[in-house]
Structure formats: structure tokens, C-alpha cells
Amino acid sequence: MGRNAAAQTGRRRTGRTVVLIHVACAALALMIVASLAVVLDRSVDEADRFGLTAERKLVDGELQHQIDAVVQYQAELSFWNKTYTELGQGTLSDTFIKEEMTDWLWQDFGFNWMIFSDRSAEAFLAVKDGLKVGRQEGTRILRWAGDLLEEADRLYEAGIVADGSGWRVMRPARDSAALEAPVPGIHATDIRLIDGVISIVVVQAVLPENLHIPAFRRDPVFMITIKPFSNLMLRNVEERLGISRLSFTSVRNVAESDIHVTLGNCSDPSCMVAAWAPRRPGSFVRSETLPSVIVIGLIATLVMTFIALRFGAVVSALEASEAENRHQARHDRLTGLINRTGFDQALAAATLRVAERPFSLLCIDLDRFKAVNDTYGHPAGDALLKVLAERFTSTVGDLGIVARLGGDEFAVLLDHGISQESAMQLARALIVDAQTPVPFDGQLLCVGCSVGLASAPKHGVSAREIVPAADRALYRAKANGRNCVRTADDVDATEQNQPDGVAA
């Protein structure tokens, strides 16, 4: 009986130990599952937060890029001697309206409203969709942009200084990282609802090219341009940024599953915003990791190994997503070339070592590219850009880098110390590349290109010096018949041969 009692006692102790072991194992499994669940939720939250932050920055940057483009296009007309001279007669001629406004700003860039007004916000000339309309219609539209007109007037007054014979608008300091010439900061811009259509609105005072204002014309005339956001523009933005369902709506109408950025500085609930469906990388993380968590809970002996493997997979996914975002931030989605941001960085690096390693900059604009888009459609234009990007890259080889700055604008940085003559030969080769027809869908797409060349340190040692020099050379090439290359030396020689007071 004693032995039996001892045996029973031992079995009971063993049973309790087994239960304790089972309980401990179950508790450990629960702790592992709970820990993994916390890590998973945090990874999902962080992935979503990172993705949403990146998308907001991309969309906000794209909207600002669209505004900057409209400002640049309008500046070519509002900061022009011909426009300023025409307005000196009190209005614009029908020929000017047709050739410079209808055939250019409307047909090429899609501005549906172009209005001229003084400080009274009363339009004295209005052009809608390429046709001149009554002043009352223009004045009605100005009610939607009255605050911008006041802001532009305030900036104009703050930006002019007396210079003895009249007034002068001060030029802004050049950003060393910018490739475009600065526009005087006297424009007011916004994205807002105009006649039921989300549009970019730009208000700028009309000035002569030298920014000198005679005393008798101190009171400004303002040019107001309105460019609507078309469905095609929205789809192009979606394609470039890799988002979906991009639209403009009020804050109160944004779907719970969507994210948005505010247009302008409006904070009222009725304000219009840009909203889109986020990619939410956290959903990918959750769907990939949750089955592993379940398996880990069922197979306790493999839990630590499995955690290491799966957590590594999560981190790799996040790192890959971040690397892809960094890549997209510096490269053009269509051609694979570096974009303006990447090129600015490369140019800044080149200027830092210019004393030991001279370089050359080629600014390239395609000729007749718009005709290809208008005739064969944007898919043909995209195919043409891809082929030319490959040709340019092959021609430049390891002598430098090729970038697409936007639209039909390219740039080449030759930073291997080649001579200006060699750079000229390379530029001519690029022109041949552009002129060589590109087969597409049974057609031959034909364009050309104009090239402006500037060398450092000969024409400057910083981006603010070398970029304008190459741009001026490019404009000279276009003025000389296109499909040619001109250097900053050609521009300097032309300016020296110009009589005083005559623009080159």
C-alpha cells in the first residue's frame, strides 16, 4: 500500500509537472503570438505612415510643379517687350491676340482664360478658349481671383524701387540648384474652383524684359491666366506618381479610405482638396506576415527561427519600398534617366570640383515634338522620348550623364574634362540622334533638337552662372533655325555686336 501510494503520488506530481509544462508552453506560445502581433501592427502602422507621408509629398510637389510651369509659361508673355509695348497703346491688337495668345498660350498650353486688368479688378480685355469675349465676362471671372489680384498688386508695390528715370523691379537671387532662370517674385498663384472647374490661376504684372518701368507707367497692368486641370492631366499625374483615383473634391466629401492634400492655404471644411486612394504598403506587410504568425503559434519549436526569417522579410520589404521611393524621387519614370532633382545634385557636385575637373553642360530642347503628340497621340510621344533617351545615353556613354528635366527638355553633364570642341562634336551627334526617324506603329516619327553648350570654368564656376549661359546658348540655337548647337561664346559675341539699346 505504501508503494502504491507513493506511485500515485509520483504520478500526480508528474501530471502536475506536465500540466505546468503545458501551461508554460501555452503561455510562451501566447506571449510569442502577442509579441508578434504587436510587432506586426507597429510595422503596418509605420509602413502606412511612411507611405502616406511620401505620397503626400509627391502629390504636393507635383501640384507645385504644375503651378511653377504655368508661371514660367505666362512669364514668357507677361515679361516681354512686345506685350508691354502693345499695352502702352491701351489694349492688345487682334493680331497679337491671335498669334501670341490664341496660337500659343491657348493651343500649346491649354490656358482657357487670359484676362488683362488694372487694380480696379475690371477687365479691359478677356480671351476665352482662344476667342475674345466681352469685358463683363472677364470681370465676372475676376471675382474668383480678386484676392490674388490684390496679392499680386501688393507684391508689385513691394518689389519696385525708384532708379531716377522711373522704377525697376528687382531680380530675385538665383538658386544655385535651379536650372531655370528665376521669375521676379511678383506673381500670385493658387489652385481653385473657377466656374465649376479646378484650375491653376496665375496673376502677374506685365513688365518689359529689362524690368525697367517708366515713371508715366508706374501703375501696373495685370495678366491673369487660368489653366484648368483636365482628366488627362490627372491621369498623367497618377501614372507618374503610381497612385490611383486622383480627384479634386471638398474636405467633407473625401472618402474615409482616401488621403488628401489641401489646395492653397484654405482651411475651411468646404475647401477643395486633391484626394486619392493610397497604396498602403502596410496591407502588403500584413497579408505577407499574418500566415507566418499563425504558423509560429502552432509550431513552437520553430518560433524563433521563423520570427527571424519573417521579420527579416518585413524589414526587407520596407527597405525595398524606401529604396524604390528614393529611386523614383531621382529618376524619370518614363525614360529611366535621372530627373531634375537628380541632375541638380550631380551639377552641384560637379561645381564643387570644377577647379580640378572642368565640365561642360548641354541644354537640349526637342524641335517639333508637340507636332508628334498632336498628330500621333501621347503614346507616340512617350515612345519617341524613350528611344531618344536610349540614343542619347548610348552616344554620351561614360563621358557624362543624361537627364530628362521634363517634357521635351534634356540635359547632359560632361564631367570627364573633355574639350569644348569634343563637347561640340558630341552635341552634333546628339542632334543626329534626334533627327533620325523613330519607327512607331507603322509610322516614322521625325523631330530634331537644339543644343546650348556652356563650359566650366570658362563660362562660370557655379550652377547659377553655368546654367543660364547654357540656356542662353540654347535660345540662340533655336533663334538660328533649330537643329544646331550654339555655345555661350556665340551668345557673348552676338551681344557684343549688338548696338546699344537693342536686344540680342
**What is the CB neighbour count within 10 angstroms for residue 67?**
19
Q: Is 219 a catalytic residue?
A: no
Residue 448 dihedral angles phi and psi, to the nearest 5°: -150, -170
What beta strand segments (E) does 368-497 contain?
A: 400-406, 409-414, 438-440, 443-445, 448-456, 485-487
Q: Whole-angstrom Cα distance, residue 115 to residue 223?
A: 6
**Do 288 and 316 contact (CB within 8 A), yes or no?**
no
Which entry of 332, 365, 408, 471 is annotated as an active-site residue? 408
- Report the chain's C-alpha Rg in angstroms: 31
Please give the helix or strand (H or E) that residue 250 lies within, else none. Answer: strand 244-250
Q: Whole-angstrom Cα distance, residue 52 to residue 69?
A: 26
CB burial of 166-203 (b: ≥16 within 10 Å; e: otherwise) equals: ebbbeeeebeeeebbeebbebbbbbbbebeeebbbbbb
Q: Whole-angstrom Cα distance, residue 481 to residue 210?
A: 25
Half-sphere exposure of 174 (CA within 13 A, CB side): 13
340-352 vs 303-330: helix axis angle to the nearest 10? 80
Listed residue (34, 18, 109) closest to 66, CA to CA: 109
**Torsion over CA of 71, 76, 79 and 83, rounded to 10 degrees?**
-130
Contacts of residue 306, Cβ cutoff 8 Å, sequence gap at least 6: 292, 295, 296, 299
Q: Whole-angstrom Cα distance, residue 244 to residue 411?
A: 31
Q: Whole-angstrom Cα distance, residue 407 to residue 405?
A: 7
Three-state secondary-structure class, residue 1 = coil
Give yes or no for a cis peptide into 281 (omega within 30° of 0).
no
Q: Whole-angstrom Cα distance, residue 222 to residue 224?
A: 6
Q: Whole-angstrom Cα distance, residue 309 to residue 442?
A: 52
**Quick one: how far is CA 492 from the chain centroid?**
32
Q: Whole-angstrom Cα distance, residue 327 to residue 243?
A: 16
- Cell numbers 475690371 correspond to 122
Tell me 312's DSSP state. H
Q: Whole-angstrom Cα distance, residue 392 to residue 434?
A: 8
Instruction: Return the active site residues.
Output: 408
